[in-house]
Each structure stands twice: as C-alpha cells, then as structure tokens.
Amino acid sequence: MAFIYGQIGGNPGDEKATGTTQLHTLGTGMKIYDKVFYYGQANGAITAGKICQSAVGIANHDMDLAVNTASAGDKSLTVTVGGTAVTEDQYKDGSVYVNDGTGEGHAYKIRQHDAIDSSGSGTINLYDSDPIKVAFAAATIIGLVKNQYHGFIVYPTTATGHAVGVTATDIADGAYGWLQTWGPAAVLCDVAFVIGNHVRVSDGTAGSGEPLDRDGTHENEESIGVASLIAPVTTDYGVVDLRIRP
C-alpha cells in the first residue's frame, strides 16, 4: 500500500470519503480551497458536524517511563511501561517525549513497535530521519504520545484531551476519515451561537458548541472558531469558521 505523507490537495467532496482501509498516514492534511482537513481513525461511530477530541491518554504510558541509556544517533529505544499492556503499533506515528532527565524537552516520531506486556519492556523504533539527538542517561524518563488523529472521539462535556476537528461526514467505528480544522463548517449547536463571536466546546452536550463568554464561568473551555450566518438553535447545526489547525 502506498502512503501519502504531509499535505495533499483535494477536490470538494473528497473530505467525505471514509472506509476501513487506511489510505493515508494518520495526520495527513488536505486543503480544499478555503478549508483544511486532517486524516484520522474514529473510536466509535460519529455523525457529521460533531466536534472531536484526541484519544484519552493512558496513565501507565504517558509519563515517567524508564528507558535504556540510548546514544545520540540511535533509531530505537527500549521502554518499560506500567501496568497496562501496549498493543502493536498503538503509538505508531505518535511520539516519544522526554519528560525528565538528560535529553528532556525532546520528542521523537515513532515509526513502529511490537506489542508490550503489562509492566513489560519493548522496543520503540523511530523514523530514520528523527534519531535520538541527546543521549539518554540513567535518570532519563519518557512518555508515549498517541497520534492525535488515531482513535479520536466525540468531544466529551469534560475535556480529556484537545479538539482535533469536526467530522465532515458520518464515520463508522474504527473507520478512517477526515476532520475539518479550518474554514467554514457545519457544527452541532448546544446553545445558540452569537454571530461574530467565538464558539467553544460545550460542557452540556458532547460534540457540540456554544458561545464563548470570556467573562463567564466557562471562559477557559477550548475555542474552536467564530460563528457566522444566522444563529442556530439548540440541536441544529450552525456555521462556524473553524480555527483549530491551519
């Protein structure tokens, strides 16, 4: 199978293509005139116009994991995870990041890995173009980060990740498809949008939006864009000029 990396151009309607066969690398971007989309895989069936969130992190994988004393230039590392097993390629096209110790602040792109048993050790293979820059020491500890478009979910009423886009069409559980991140899109409304004002993720209805009131009680909720056209009513879909990721 040929995979396409980076950014591609598309035609109107390409964003509605879905399927169980992976056609692009997760996180591939597609620009269609004034709109931008990113390719991912859904965790759960998700209908069109829903705000989506990155997969929930796993506490036994996301920080303070012991790692071998790898050298600068190495293209693999050995990590010991906590009490949750890792499935094969669960973190493919995600990242290893050094959260403390020598080399802290660096992140590396994951090319491939086998399954790792609960509380076991396994090898993480990096992209050849992204080898370890600063050697790991005995005190170096890392975390594993899933690709933000791998296993995206409907944005819950209490955030467990960050917004990654709005579904361009219905996507079946486990299927691949496109999330819109920039430009005008139809978005599920929980509380009527205010034209020209910012729209945030809703804390009342999963996957929907409502006005962002910076003097209100939920001013820290994540903003996804600016409302335009007529204000929609609850359970309808309104137009939001998305500003999640260009």
What rounded mean pLDDT belongs to the chain?
Answer: 95
Here the tokens at position 182 are 């920039």
Same domain, 175 and 222: yes
The larger pLDDT score, comparing residue 5 to residue 82, is at 82
DSSP bridge pairs for 19: 176
The tens digit of pLDDT for each residue in 20-76 reads 999 999 999 999 999 999 999 999 999 999 999 999 999 999 999 999 999 999 999
| pLDDT value, residue 141 | 98
Same domain, 108 and 213: no
Same domain, 228 and 116: no
From 125, 145, 165, the end of a domain falls on 145
Same domain, 137 and 156: no
Res. 98: pLDDT tops 70: yes
The number of folded domains in the chain is: 2
- The answer to the question of residue 59 being in a domain is no
Q: Are 66 and 44 in contact (CB under 8 A)?
A: no
- The answer to the question of residue 34 being in a domain is yes
From 145, 172, 197, the end of a domain falls on 145
Span 178-190, mean pLDDT? 98
pTM value is 0.93
